[in-house]
Amino acid sequence: MVKVEVKNLNTWFGLLHVLKGVTIDIQANEILSAIGPSNSGKTTFLRMLNRLNELETNFKMEGLVNLEGKDVRAIDVELLRKKVGMVFALPLPLPLSIFENVAYGVRMHGMHNKGKIIERVEEALKKAYIWEEVKDRLEESAFKLSGGQQQRLCIARTLAVEPEVILFDEPCSGLDPISTAKVEEAMLKLKENYTIVLVTNNVKQAARVGDRTAFFLSGELVELDKTEKMFTAPADQRTDDYIRGKFG
């Protein structure tokens, strides 16, 4: 089943033409990883899916982004962002306690029943594999957690609002290998219930967790294929060069 459909998408920031005619279907319950050098447009692509690019005043787009067959621009933006959650490159806890970080989104969507919020927070922390580490210190500042813990807290925070699609924007770029492994483990587990789009600078990470991989270069989608195929027999020479580390 196609969850997200991107058709002939062009975007601009001012005069800078970032995405150039990108067309991708994202299947439900897959992990689609997007790789490519920096400035290849993969983060812009990701931020199209929850309309976060619109925060830039000089942003313009052409083409279509559909969520379950419906144009995202026709969906109420708060509802869209509830359905399409995002985990950022750096762990970005809000300046609140561990508990309140996870409860924040839930509260903003109008849930005030204390017992239900507690339930939801616990469930989200468990899904993000951080419950055991924080259950005795929920009232502490989220900034007291280590970087890896903070990132899993951010995943829990995203899960708490019960999204359908989760966008990961280089979620492990600031993490050590062990924390990275934990985040990847969480992702693989999450794909059973969610559709995941992962932007990563780390080619090996795409190989480890991605069902399919998309290779972006200078705003164009060069190649999109099953991850095994992409990493063993890429169709395009540039993909091959990038994966082998000939440029980055």
Partner 1 sequence: MRNSRRSEKIAFFFLFLATLLIVVPVGLIIAIIIQKGLPAINWQFLSDMPRSGMRAGGILPAIVGTIYLVGGAILFALPIGLLAAIYLSEYSRDNLLTRMIKLAIVNLAGVPSVVYGLFGLALFVVFCKFGASILSGSLTLGIMILPLIITSSREALESVPDSFREVSLSLGASKWQTIRHIVLPNAVPGILTGTILGLGRAAGETAPILFTVAAFYLPQLPKSLFDQAMALPYHLYVISTQVPNVDEKIRYGTALVLLFLVLFMNLVAIIIRYHFRKKKKW
Among 33, 158, 179, 227, binds partner 1 (CB under 8 A): 158
Q: Is 108 in the site for partner 1 (CB under 8 A)?
A: yes
Q: Is 127 in the site for partner 1 (CB under 8 A)?
A: no
Among 11, 40, 43, 50, binds partner 1 (CB under 8 A): 50
Interface characters, 75-104, with partner 1 (x: CB under 8 A)? ---xxxxx--xx-x-x-x-xxxx------x
- Closest CB 63 distance from partner 1, rounded Å: 22
Q: Is 129 in the site for partner 1 (CB under 8 A)?
A: no
Size of the site for partner 1 (CB under 8 A): 29
Please tell me what DSSP assigns to residue 137: -
Q: Are the C-beta atoms of residues 198 and 206 closer than 8 Å to each other?
A: yes
Q: Is 3 in the site for partner 1 (CB under 8 A)?
A: no
**Interatomic CA distance for residues 171 and 185, integer angstroms:** 13
HSE-CB at 192 with a 13 A cutoff on CA atoms is 6
User: Quick one: 80 or 183, whose CB is closer to partner 1?
Assistant: 80
**Interatomic CA distance for residues 49 and 97, integer angstroms:** 29
Burial 17-31 (b: 16+ CB within 10 A, else e): ebbeebebebeeebb
Residue 71: CB atoms within 10 Å: 11
Interface ranges with partner 1 (CB under 8 A):
50, 52, 55, 57, 78-82, 85-86, 88, 90, 92, 94-97, 104-105, 108-109, 141-143, 154, 157-158, 161
